[in-house]
């Protein structure tokens, strides 16, 4: 989980919400005044607002419009161009499944209070909304935007107007539950589930996107990937994962769950991102263990049993077999020059 004071959201998303509020009779100036936010804060499209500011804006929009369904309305009418370059990746993806997967991978370009992950089998394709920070009431509206946007965009950009077969919402059933059953129908809507979700039939979600263009898709994904790396400090997911494994190698090998949590990702999302970068968690764990083992041997500070312990091996024999697999040498015969 990320600390609330590190969470942010792209300014174009906030401006879109303000436009929708204005359409429903809430002047932009009135909303900003109630939220205590200056208009100047929202001029630069490359800037971001904090989670606290986002929550203040939601509260102000709800108060000015009197609409409990404001998040859902924003989601169902969400323009993909509001996500910038990521929108072009989504629009030009070969099929809807790829579009959803790519939007999930690069979600942090838009905001990092929550993200999406995909779980699929031969029958169903499920989009889960996973929280990257502690839940608070205002995040209900953000979840509504996210689910509503996925729902609407899939329906409008597939030839057969694909709809989900089931919908789940994390929070308890609100007074305006009828708004949700009407919007997502005929799919049944469940409230109070562990994670919000949209479930589609697998064969439906792999249908081509109406606007897809493979050359444009590749072109824009390269740009989006560069922006994503810049946002993450120029580091790939492989780089970040490797550093965290090294940081937590203290007598036991850190599990993938621990590293995924620190990266504000689900285990499945992390494994998928590593695969896209040509690696895996186990490969990185082995590489870090090998690097540390060689370093310990060369420094001659620890005996073999101590090195095995430091690297998280329960037995010296297991460490010795692994080391020989990595280097071709047993630890006792490794050349030091």
Nearest-CA neighbor of 125 among 205, 209, 208, 196? 205
| Residue 271 within any structural domain of the chain | yes
Q: Are residues 200 and 80 in the same domain?
A: yes
Question: Which pLDDT value is given to residue 299?
Answer: 86
Question: Which pLDDT value is given to residue 337?
Answer: 63
| Residue 23 within any structural domain of the chain | no
Q: Are residues 150 and 101 in the same domain?
A: yes
> How many domains, in total, are found in the chain?
2
The β-bridge relationship of strands 166-169 and 189-191 is parallel
**Per-residue pLDDT tens digits for 93-111:** 999 999 998 998 889 999 9
| Residue 50 within any structural domain of the chain | no
Predicted structure pTM score = 0.73
Q: Are residues 90 and 158 in the same domain?
A: yes
Q: Are residues 190 and 268 in the same domain?
A: no
For 297-309, the DSSP string reads HHHT-S-HHHHHH
Q: Are residues 147 and 200 in the same domain?
A: yes
Question: Which pLDDT value is given to residue 125?
Answer: 94
Nearest-CA neighbor of 272 among 61, 146, 115, 51? 115
Three-state SS at 249: coil
| Residue 327 within any structural domain of the chain | yes
Q: Are residues 128 and 187 in the same domain?
A: yes
Q: Are residues 179 and 260 in the same domain?
A: no
Q: Are residues 256 and 176 in the same domain?
A: no
| Residue 222 within any structural domain of the chain | no
Q: Cβ–Cβ contacts within 10 Å for residue 238, how many? A: 18
Q: Are residues 82 and 184 in the same domain?
A: yes
| Residue 103 within any structural domain of the chain | yes
CA atoms within 13 A on the CB side of 186: 2
Burial per residue of 193-232, b for 16 or more beta-carbon CB atoms within 10 angstroms, e otherwise: eebbbbbbeeebbbbebeebeeeebeebbeebbebbeeee
Nearest-CA neighbor of 282 among 315, 325, 317? 325
- Intervals of the chain under pLDDT 50: none
| Residue 44 within any structural domain of the chain | no
Domain extent, residue 74, equals 68-205
Q: 135: burial class by Cβ within 10 Å (0-12, 13-18, 19+)?
A: middle
| H or E segment and range at residue 215 | helix 214-231
Q: Are residues 100 and 186 in the same domain?
A: yes
Which residues on neighbouring strands pair with residue 128, listed in sequence order?
117, 197
Q: Are residues 144 and 243 in the same domain?
A: no
Three-state SS at 124: strand
Nearest-CA neighbor of 138 among 293, 308, 7? 7
Q: CATH number for the domain including 330? A: 1.10.10.60
CA separation for the pair 247, 72 (Å, rounded): 41
Q: Are residues 190 and 286 in the same domain?
A: no
| Residue 2 within any structural domain of the chain | no
Question: Which pLDDT value is given to residue 333?
Answer: 86
């Amino acid at each position: 989980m990320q600390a609330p004071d590190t969470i942010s959201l792209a300014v174009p998303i906030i401006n879109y919400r303000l436009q929708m509020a204005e359409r429903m009779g809430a002047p932009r100036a009135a909303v900003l005044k109630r939220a205590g936010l200056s208009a100047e804060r929202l001029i630069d499209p490359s800037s971001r607002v904090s989670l606290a500011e986002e929550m203040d804006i939601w509260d102000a929009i709800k108060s000015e419009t009197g609409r409990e369904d404001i998040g859902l309305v924003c989601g169902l009418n969400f323009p993909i161009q509001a996500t910038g370059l990521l929108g072009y990746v989504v629009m030009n993806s070969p099929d809807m499944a790829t579009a959803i997967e790519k939007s999930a991978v690069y979600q942090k370009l838009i905001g990092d209070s929550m993200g999406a992950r995909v779980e699929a089998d031969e029958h169903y394709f499920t989009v889960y909304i996973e929280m990257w920070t502690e839940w608070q009431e205002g995040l209900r509206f953000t979840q509504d935007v996210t689910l509503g946007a996925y729902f609407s965009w899939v329906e409008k950009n597939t030839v057969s107007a694909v709809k989900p077969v089931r919908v789940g919402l994390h929070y308890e059933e609100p007074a305006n539950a009828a708004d949700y059953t009407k919007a997502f129908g005929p799919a049944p809507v469940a409230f109070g589930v562990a994670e919000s979700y949209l479930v589609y039939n697998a064969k439906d979600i792999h249908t081509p996107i109406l606007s897809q263009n493979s050359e444009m898709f590749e072109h824009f994904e390269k740009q989006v990937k560069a922006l994503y790396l810049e946002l993450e400090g120029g580091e790939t997911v492989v780089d970040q994962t490797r550093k965290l494994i090294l940081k937590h190698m203290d007598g036991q090998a850190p599990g993938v769950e621990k590293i995924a949590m620190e990266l504000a990702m689900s285990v499945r999302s992390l494994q998928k991102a590593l695969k896209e970068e040509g690696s895996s968690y186990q490969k990185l764990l082995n590489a870090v263990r090998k690097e540390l083992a060689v370093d310990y041997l060369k420094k001659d500070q620890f005996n073999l049993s101590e090195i095995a312990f430091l690297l998280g091996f329960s037995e010296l024999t297991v460490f010795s077999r692994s080391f020989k697999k990595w280097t071709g040498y047993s630890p006792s015969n490794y050349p030091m020059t």
